[in-house]
Amino acid sequence: MGRFAGKVAIVTGGSAGIGAAVVARLASEGAKVLIADIQPPAATTDSIVFMHTDVASPEAVATLVEACRQKWGQIDILVNSAGIGALAETPDMSEELWDKVFDINIKAIFLFCKYAIPVMRANGGAILNIASISGQGGDYGMGAYNASKGAVINYTRSLALDCARDGIRVNALCPGLIETAMTELTVARPEDRAAWLSPIPLARMGKPEEMANVIAFLCSDEASYMTGSIVTADGGITAHTGQPNVPYRRKLREQQA
C-alpha cells in the first residue's frame, strides 16, 4: 500500500499533461481518483474514474463534487491542474479570450474549492493548485496568463489561511517549461526550442512526471507542515536575473578560436 491508500482525489485537467501524470502517480500509490476534464483520459480503471466536466461551469463542478462524495464518501485531495495558455498583447486580446483564461485558470479553482472544502473538512486533506513561474514574473505577450497565474499564487495563500484550522493544507506548484500538449507548438521549430531552452540552467524541458513527484509529496503527509507554500520546479530559470551566461559564452568563443 502506498502513501495514498484509502484516499480519494479529484484532479482537474487529469486527462493530459501534468494532470495525467498526477492521476497515474496518486493511483499507483493507492488513491481513488476522479478526473474532471473536457476530454477523456487514455484509460480508466476501478480506481481512476472520468467525468466530463467543464471546470468553468459552476453547475458541472458542483455536480462532479457531489458525485465524488456519493461514490466514495470523502474527498482528501484536490489537484487543480486544468489550465490554458493565450498569446496576445493587450490591444489584440479579445475580452472573450481574457475571460476564458480567467474562468479556466483561476475561477475554476475557486469553484472546486467552494464545493470540495465542505466535504474535505470531515477528514482534513490537501489542495494543490498548479500556478506557473509565469505567475511570478511577466512574459512577452502573455498578460492574461501572467495575471491569472499570479492570482492563483495569492489565492493559494488566502485559501491556506482559511483552511488551516480545518486541517486542510493548500499549496501551489510553479512549473517551468514542461513537455505537454500546451508547449508542443511553442517548441516545435528548432530555433524556437533553442530560444526557450537557453535561459534554463538545467538545459532541458521538465517532464510531467517530475511535476507529479513534487505534487505527490505536497499532497502527502510528508509535507504535513507545509501550507501556503509556493513551490517552484523550473530547472532553475527563476534563479537568475536573465542576464547572459558569460563564462559559458567565453568557453564557446575559445572553442571556436
Ligand X SMILES: NC(=O)c1ccc[n+]([C@@H]2O[C@H](COP(=O)([O-])OP(=O)(O)OC[C@H]3O[C@@H](n4cnc5c(N)ncnc54)[C@H](O)[C@@H]3O)[C@@H](O)[C@H]2O)c1
Q: Which residues are catalytic?
A: 145
Q: For residue 18, state whether it binds ligand X (rule: CB under 6 A).
A: yes
In whole angstroms, give the CA distance from residue 117 to residue 8: 13
Q: Which residues of 154-181 are buried (b: 16+ CB within 10 A; e: fewer)?
A: ebbbebbeebeeeebbbbbbbbbbbbbe
By CB under 6 A, residue 235 contacts ligand X: no
Q: Is 5 exposed, middle or buried (0-12, 13-18, 19+ CB in 10 A)?
A: exposed
CB of residue 111 vs ligand X: minimum separation in angstroms? 11
Q: How many CA atoms lie within 13 A of 253 on its CB side?
A: 6
Binding mask 62-101 for ligand X (x = CB under 6 A): -------------------xxxx-----------------
> Which of these segments, 13-21, 68-76, 161-169, 190-198, binds ligand X (CB under 6 A)?
13-21
CB nearer to ligand X: pick between 149 and 169: 149
With binding defined as CB under 6 A, does residue 54 bind ligand X? Answer: yes
Residue range at the interface with ligand X (CB under 6 A); choices 49-57, 163-171, 189-197, 247-255 = 49-57
Query: 215 to each of 82, 147, 240, how far by Cα in Å?
Result: 14, 23, 24
Please identify, using beta-carbon distances, which residue of 119 and 133 lies nearer to ligand X.
133
Asked if residue 143 binds ligand X (CB under 6 A), the reply is no
Would you count residue 19 as binding ligand X (CB under 6 A)? yes
Q: Which of 104, 110, 109 is nearest to 86 (CA)?
A: 104
**Minimal distance, residue 211 CB to ligand X, in Å:** 8
Find the part of the chain contacting ligand X (CB under 6 A) among 24-32, 114-122, 173-181, 218-226.
173-181
CB burial readout 119-128, b (16+ within 10 A) else e? bbeeeebbbb
The closest alpha carbon to 232, from 142, 135, 145, 146, belongs to: 135
* Interacting residues toward ligand X by CB under 6 A: 13, 15-19, 37-39, 53-56, 81-84, 104, 130, 132, 175, 177-178, 180-183
